[in-house]
Structure 1
Amino acid sequence: MLRILLRQGNAIQIKPAQKHYSTVQIDEVWSFVGQRKKGKYWLFYAYSAEYDKILTYTCGSRSATTLQTLLRKLQGVNIDQYCTDYWKAFAKILPTEKHRIGKAYTKNIEGVNTCLIARNKRLVR
């Protein structure tokens, strides 16, 4: 499965089913790339707890550029608020008036992360 993700990760498209979401949680997990475990491959994704759906995702480095790629995939979707952890790039890029920061706002996506990690030992928080 990881080979498919590495080869075709960003080519596969998941599009949000709704045009409006009251709350979207965004987080990232990473995996080792290659046998030597030197490179990290980051999976950023947007999750709606309201609909229990992953809305979209993108793969790449842990950078503001990868986050911007994820947000471009959410263009055309009206989102009332974004919920994230304390990573600085979230605060820089997301609109301040719509951004909620803290574990209290991301408990659902953290639960999804736990499930992903439990099912794929190569994924890490």
Structure 2
Amino acid sequence: MEDHDTGQEVAFLFGRRTNASFKRLLKLLAESDVTVSRWFTDYWWACHDLLPTAIHQAGKDQTQRIERKHLDLRTRTKRLARRTICFSKSVLMHDTVINLLINHLFF
């Protein structure tokens, strides 16, 4: 998740797109004392279930920058592609490399 005005990463979470994952993201935001005044999301149903409609806007028009950032991350993390020489079967190694990359790029 990023700050819309500054582009600064505020929180990130790995997991399936479920209500439980979104609740974990909300908990991370609450623990870091981040106040969200407006949510711009895609059409993920968990957001519709858990966010008040007054501060939630669904659509792709406000999510282009974060989608671009996700594409850059996928491109830079070649470890996730099976046909590369650096592929690892360990989930722990995948999470570690992705966390290190995100910390290096955004924090």
Structure 1 distance, partners of 2:52, 2:29, is: 14
Gaps of 5+ in 2: 82-107
TM-score (norm 1): 0.57
**Rg (Cα) greater in structure:** 2
Partner of 2:52: 95
Amino acid at match of 1:90: C
Q: 1:78 offset after TM fit, Å?
A: 2.0
**Percent sequence identity over aligned pairs:** 29
Structure 1 distance, partners of 2:67, 2:73, is: 10
Residue by residue over 1:85-111, the C-alpha shift from the partner in whole angstroms, topping out at 9 and shown as x without a partner, is: 001111111121100110001111111
Q: Could you tell me whether the CA contact under 8 Å between 2:41 and 2:58 is conserved in 1?
A: yes
Which structure has the highest strand share of the two?
1
Aligned residue pair count: 78
Gaps of 5+ in 1: 1-45
Which structure has the highest helix share of the two?
2
Partner of 1:53: 8
What is the root-mean-square deviation in Å for CA atoms of aligned residues? Answer: 1.6
Residue 68 in structure 1 maps to residue 26 in structure 2: no
Amino acid at match of 1:67: F
Q: 1:59 offset after TM fit, Å?
A: 2.2
Structure 2 distance, partners of 1:55, 1:110, is: 15
Residue by residue over 1:15-50, the C-alpha shift from the partner in whole angstroms, topping out at 9 and shown as x without a partner, is: xxxxxxxxxxxxxxxxxxxxxxxxxxxxxxx11131
